[in-house]
Amino acid sequence: MSLANQVAIVTGGGNGIGRTIALRLARDGADVVIAGRRQATLEETAMAIRALGKKTLPVVADVSREDDVNAMAGKARDTFGRIDILVNNAGIIGPTAPLVSVKRAEWDEVMAVNLTGAYLCAKAVLPDMIARRSGKIVNIASVAGKVAYALRSPYAVSKWGMIGLTLTLAQEAGASNIQVNVVCPGPVAGERMRRVINDRAAELGRPAAEVEQFYVADTALKRMVTEEDVAALVAFVASSEADNITGQAIDVSAGHSL
């Protein structure tokens, strides 16, 4: 898959899945704008992208703030002239607790980052994409956006919302030749998943190893997926090979039983 001469924005691109996605898009030929809250991690990822021979622009931005998002999109256009691909990856895990124990501020923060952030970023890049009649928007949700997920209500609801946003936007933008899809990972091995497991174990009063098996048992392959698995799927739907794929919620989940 070639992304040569393409310009991508990856939100939450400084670390974790976002970093892996940004590096994969760069390996496939794209120049990459990476946005996130922490300058140090953005600069580290930017160095890795430059080492691959691609151009990059690290931008400190909070996707829940409209001014930050508009400034990020403006800097991307000023630097590269256009935006071909938007990957809405920025997200937080939120609390692990029964709904009655979730604080309003916690709920609002998860929605603001995980869902409103995607809306703001899409709104910022769409006018130019529509004018050029070309563009790809790839949202990152979760299989948690397709199932009941006890003790994780803010996160799950934000991901259900991301899927709804994707399917709706695909219909709106399709007439302008813009493809909008959502990637739904299952449990992804790494530090972020470890935090979710530890939080759930603490809430339930159970060993972390037992809780980890809770996540693995529902997969056909009896394992978690990797950040690279997610990045590979993102790279595919962002490429010209997926020009006739839009409005789809595509799982990469080791066969998670929904």
Residue 145 DSSP one-character state: G
Average pLDDT over residues 62-87: 98
**CATH class of the domain at 7-186+226-252:** alpha beta
pLDDT digits (tens, 9 = 90+) for 99-149: 999 999 999 999 999 999 999 999 999 999 999 999 999 999 999 999 999
Residue 1 has pLDDT above 70, yes or no: no
Q: Which two tokens stand for residue 250?
A: 């595509």
Q: 119, 149, 155, 215: which is the annotated catalytic residue?
A: 155
Q: Using a pLDDT cut of 70, give the percent of the chain over it.
A: 100
Residues across the chain: 258
215 is catalytic: no
pLDDT digits (tens, 9 = 90+) for 216-232: 999 999 999 999 999 99
Of 54, 90, 50, the C-alpha closest to 69 is 90
Distance CA 99, CA 190 (A): 26
- The domains of the chain are located at 7-186+226-252
Distance CA 74, CA 128 (A): 11
State residue 164's pLDDT score: 98
Q: Report the chain's mean pLDDT, rounded to a whole number.
A: 97
CA 24, distance to chain mean position in Å, is 14
Distance CA 243, CA 115 (A): 25
State residue 258's pLDDT score: 72
Distance CA 102, CA 95 (A): 7
Distance CA 168, CA 162 (A): 10
pLDDT digits (tens, 9 = 90+) for 151-175: 999 999 999 999 999 999 999 999 9
pLDDT digits (tens, 9 = 90+) for 27-73: 999 999 999 999 999 999 999 999 999 999 999 999 999 999 999 99
